[in-house]
Structure 1
Amino acid sequence: MAHQGSCMCGAVAFTIDGDIATGNACHCTSCRKQSGHYWASIDVPRTALAIQDADHIRWYQSSEKVRRGFCDTCGSTLFWDPVFQDWTSVAIGALDSPTQMRLSLHIYVSEKGDYYDIADGLPQNET
């Protein structure tokens, strides 16, 4: 099954070829600062991700191991890309609905913001 997604303005669109059953929510400080809250994403094999108009993606190298991709027109956060892996995290919010998926895990909850609670009953990893 193929899933479609895009940034807010439509300058960047992408297709994920395959199933996307579950995602995770990262509460680390970097993800919160980048997204404005926590980062909800799905990990997709790079071979299953096709990006149209990739020339509109700007990459920010947030660490030695990770770069973060966003639209250069509207600023939508789209990708978290561990450069030494064979997968990319894709923002769940950028997927066209319905996604038919659920979150399965919260990570880096030791860094979560103090302005919200996690009360959905999902597993929570400190890191």
Structure 2
Amino acid sequence: MHKGSCLCGAVTFEIEGDLSAPDACHCSKCRKHSGHFFASTDVARERLAIKGTENITWFQSSEKVRRGFCATCGSSLFWDPPHKDWIAIAMGAFDGPTGTRLNKHIFVADKGDYYDIADGLPQNQQ
């Protein structure tokens, strides 16, 4: 069982089972949503239990994706393609160790100019 929350605790979540290896998205939308790149893990919807859903504000950031954040403290929590059977959860929202390691970087062609990616992980331009 993995648990997590937003900064103020108005939104909490629990996930049954292991987490998949997270990736880091460097696209401009993820950078604006999170303040840097967005590291997240994909979780099957049936394994996720969220409390405080009334405190989540959803922003439709594209035709196929919405982003969820706490309406009280503003914490970036979710990247949600509603047409899929999974949802991405921000790695920074987890309480305690996750037992995962970053797997890859995506959309590195859009990364910010103020940092380098030098961890040796795969880098996808898109």
Which TM-score bucket, shorter chain as reference?
Answer: over 0.9
Say which SS state the counterpart of residue 55 (structure 1) adopts. Answer: helix
Paired with 1:83 and 1:4, the residues of 2 have a C-alpha distance of 22
What's the C-alpha RMSD, in Å, of the aligned pairs? Answer: 0.7
5+ residue gaps, structure 2: none
Q: Give the alignment's TM-score, normalised by structure 1.
A: 0.97
Contact 1:21 1:100 in 2 (8 A): no
Question: In the alignment, which residue of structure 1 is the partner of 2:108?
Answer: 109
Give the superposition deviation at 1:21.
4.2
Instruction: Indicate how the Cα distance of structure 1 residues 12 and 108 shifts in structure 2: closer, same or farther if over 3 A, else same.
Output: same
Q: In structure 2, the residue corresponding to 1:70 is in which secondary structure?
A: strand
1:65–1:82 CA contact under 8 A, matched in 2 = yes
Q: Which residue of 2 aligns with 1:72?
A: 71
Q: Report the counterpart of residue 49 of structure 1 in structure 2.
A: 48
Unaligned runs of 5+ residues in structure 1 are none
Per-residue CA distance 1:44-98 (angstroms, 9 max, x = gap): 0011110011110000000110000000000000000012111000000000111
- Report the AA paired with residue 90 of structure 2: A
Give the letter for the 1:22 counterpart.
A
Answer 1 or 2: which has greater strand percent: 1
- Give the residue type in structure 1 aligned to 2:52: D
Q: Secondary structure at the match of 2:124?
A: coil
How far the C-alpha of 1:19 sits from its partner, in A, is 0.4
Q: Does 1:94 align with 2:76?
A: no
Distance 1:21 1:44, change over 3 A: closer
Structure 1 residue runs of 4+, over 4 Å off?
none
**SS at structure 1 position matched to 2:30:** helix
Give TM-score, length-normalised by structure 2. Answer: 0.98
